[in-house]
Amino acid sequence: MNYWPLLGVAAVVAGFAARLNPMLVVVAAGFVSGFAAGLPLADQLALLGKSFVATRAPLLIVLTLPVVGLLEHAGLREHAQRWIAGLYYMSLSLLLICYMALRQILGALGLTSIGGHAQTVRPLIAPMAEAAARKTAPGLDELQRERIRALAAATDNVGLFFGEDIFIAFGAVLLIQTFYTANGIHLEPLSIAIWAIPTAIAAFVIHALRIVVFQYGLKRDAEPRA
């Protein structure tokens, strides 16, 4: 077995550790693995384009972004913030934890396109999170607002990433099955998906605790110091 293509994994780890652009890191890691496997550049570009067209549905992206832009121009973010501000029981932690639970459940059912950074987090979840956080810390500064937006995006990532692994027809599940089959170990996709459930639960609990700790930090910073 040729282990050199695994250099792509090292490239991903190094890129994320250096806080480089995630998209550039992933694409560069793909080329690293491709060259390590001996694939010509033309074949790598063809594979990259084919994968993008097959999995990302570019037409839907092109149609979604203008709609989101028009809704934001019409005041979608402001309406979302006012709505959350009017719900006295809604806190930052409750909002994000509920969204993460919904994202995981939908991902486990294969509905991965319902939600996302462009169509949900930026126009809805992030401004709603800011409005909820102001109940705890009314005087949010720009750095705190950026951290809240980042936390909202991270919540979407955690919910989707660990939720979609439970869906038996997800590409990663089939990739795992293919890898084990090639090495003489037969596993059913359902078995792989079921064993992804404990990981999804652990990720949910850990990130939920991170959200609660973050909210506590906002509250602590907002308290007047003696």
Helix/strand/coil (H/E/C) assignment for every residue in 147-187: HHHHHHHHHHHHHHHHHHCCCCCCHHHHHHHHHHHHCCCCC
Burial profile 81-103: b = 16 or more Cβ within 10 angstroms, e = fewer = beebeeeeebbbbebbbebbeeb
Give the residue from 129, 25, 44 showing the smallest Cα distance to 87.
129
- CB atoms inside a 10 Å sphere around CB 162: 23
Residue-wise DSSP of 212-226 = HHHHHHHHHHHSPP-
Number of residues that make up the chain? 226
The overall pTM is greater than 0.85: no
Q: Is the dihedral of CA 201, 148, 85, 65 positive or negative?
A: negative
**Looking at residue 2, what is its pLDDT?**
75
Q: Per residue of the chain (226 residues), what is the pLDDT tens digit?
A: 677 888 888 998 898 888 887 778 888 888 998 898 888 988 888 887 777 666 555 555 556 666 667 777 777 778 888 888 888 888 999 999 999 999 999 988 888 877 888 788 988 899 999 999 988 888 888 899 999 999 999 999 999 999 988 887 777 777 778 878 888 888 888 888 888 899 999 999 999 999 999 999 988 887 765 4
**Looking at residue 68, what is its pLDDT?**
67
**Looking at residue 226, what is its pLDDT?**
43
